[in-house]
């Protein structure tokens, strides 16, 4: 009993110290000069542009990785092909490479002096120091999140439900929408949440390729850093509080969905246990 209490205490202390206190201090600092100053900081056109930038990047990167994750899990779980293991390993690559290196690789590829730089500038296509580059960097960094969540699930679930659907008269398209996708939906959901969180919070890779033109190629994460760097502490925390709120909204959304589908989730857990 004493052991249990001390363990719980330790866990709670740890959580308070490393999660709760920082979160509170973000909001405390953001509001330290009053609510007016808080909204002024957020209403700043440069910050507004950073918000749009962040949302735009996430809105492109997350669906891209969602589609990729579904395709990859479909291939890996259904077919045994040459290069299957290589594909599984490659998916993990972004986890093992520092995001900054990922950004640098992109500069080397698409930058003015890069491999494709000459061709791109000849055709007036700007990737580096512009939105496309930032989106690409974010896709690369968040690449594994959906796939990693969905592939094991797809492998565990196997192919039998799809085969059953075929014998019941379903076409390939019907099977995909009515069977394959729904049975993976919780994996997809968690994968998308993680992917989204990372896409909005990504700093390293995006920082390298953005060029940090304040008000143009700035995301929320980058804005926090540049504001903090120019001693606008309160404004930096105000922007940081926006990111924190995005995280909180995500959590609430997750809890809400889990609550609405609690029967189904309980049934799935029971099946796993049996």
Partner 1 sequence: MSTEIKISHVFRSFSSHAVLNDVSLTVREGELLALLGPSGSGKTTLLRLISGLDQPDAGSINIGEDDASARHAKDRGVGFVFQHYALFRHMTVFENIAFPLRIRKAGKAEINAKVEELLKLIQLETLAGRYPAQLSGGQRQRVALARALASQPRVLLLDEPFGALDAVVRRDLRRWLRQLHDEMHITTIFVTHDQEEAFDLADRVVIMKDGRICQEGTPIDIYRGPVNPFVHEFLGESNRLAAHISNGVVTAEAGFALGRAELPDGAAEVFIRPHHVVPYPSSSGAWIVARIAATGAQVRIGLARNGTLLESAMTADALLDSDLQAGGTAAVHFTGGTVFTSQGGEPVRLSPLPVGN
Q: Which residues bind partner 1 (CB under 8 A)?
A: 157, 160-161, 163-171, 174, 178-179, 182-183, 185, 263-264, 267-268, 270-271, 274
**Phi-psi label, residue 133: left if phi above 0, alpha if psi -120 to 50, beta otherwise:** alpha
CB of 159 to partner 1, least distance (A): 9
Residue 199 sits at the vertex; the CA angle it makes with 125 and 49, to the nearest 5 degrees, is 65
CB of 62 to partner 1, least distance (A): 22
CB of 174 to partner 1, least distance (A): 6
CB of 152 to partner 1, least distance (A): 16
Complex with partner 1: residue 181 or 252, whichever CB lies closer: 181
**Phi-psi label, residue 125: left if phi above 0, alpha if psi -120 to 50, beta otherwise:** beta
Helices (H), the chain: 2-15, 21-30, 34-43, 45-78, 84-96, 99-110, 117-122, 131-157, 160-167, 172-175, 181-183, 185-201, 204-210, 220-229, 233-260, 262-273
Q: In Å, how far from its chain's centre is CA 62?
A: 7
Complex with partner 1: residue 76 or 175, whichever CB lies closer: 175
Residue with tokens 């890996």: 76
- Taking alpha carbons only, the member of 58, 29, 39 closest to residue 246 is 58
Complex with partner 1: residue 186 or 237, whichever CB lies closer: 186
Q: How many CA atoms lie within 13 A of 118 on its CB side?
A: 1
Complex with partner 1: residue 98 or 171, whichever CB lies closer: 171
CB of 38 to partner 1, least distance (A): 44
Q: Other CB atoms closer than 10 Å to residue 21's CB: what's the count?
A: 12
CB of 160 to partner 1, least distance (A): 4
Complex with partner 1: residue 178 or 254, whichever CB lies closer: 178
Residue with tokens 């592939």: 151
Complex with partner 1: residue 8 or 260, whichever CB lies closer: 260
CB of 185 to partner 1, least distance (A): 7
Q: Other CB atoms closer than 10 Å to residue 50's CB: what's the count?
A: 26
Complex with partner 1: residue 92 or 156, whichever CB lies closer: 156
């Amino acid at each position: 009993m004493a052991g249990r209490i001390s363990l719980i205490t330790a866990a709670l202390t740890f959580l308070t110290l490393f999660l709760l206190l920082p979160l509170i201090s973000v909001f405390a600092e953001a509001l330290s000069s009053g609510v007016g100053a808080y909204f002024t900081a957020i209403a700043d056109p440069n910050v507004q542009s950073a918000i749009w930038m962040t949302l735009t990047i996430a809105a492109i990167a997350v669906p891209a990785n969602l589609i990729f994750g579904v395709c990859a899990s479909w291939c890996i779980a259904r077919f045994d092909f040459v290069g299957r293991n290589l594909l599984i390993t490659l998916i993990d690559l972004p986890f093992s490479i520092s995001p900054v290196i990922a950004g640098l690789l992109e500069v080397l590829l698409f930058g003015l002096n890069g491999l494709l730089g000459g061709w791109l500038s000849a055709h007036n296509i700007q990737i580096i120091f512009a939105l496309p580059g930032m989106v690409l960097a974010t896709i690369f960094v968040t690449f594994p999140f959906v796939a990693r969540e969905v592939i094991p699930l797809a492998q565990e679930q196997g192919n039998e439900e799809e085969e059953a659907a075929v014998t019941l008269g379903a076409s390939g398209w019907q099977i995909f929408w009515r069977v394959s996708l729904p049975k993976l939906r919780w994996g997809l959901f968690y994968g998308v949440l993680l992917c989204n969180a990372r896409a909005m919070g990504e700093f390293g890779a995006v920082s390298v390729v953005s060029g940090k033109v304040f008000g143009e190629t700035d995301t929320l994460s980058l804005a926090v850093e540049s504001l903090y760097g120019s001693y606008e502490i309160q404004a930096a925390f105000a922007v940081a509080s926006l990111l924190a709120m995005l995280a909180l909204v995500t959590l609430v959304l997750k809890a809400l969905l889990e609550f609405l589908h609690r029967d189904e989730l309980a049934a799935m857990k029971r099946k796993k246990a049996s």
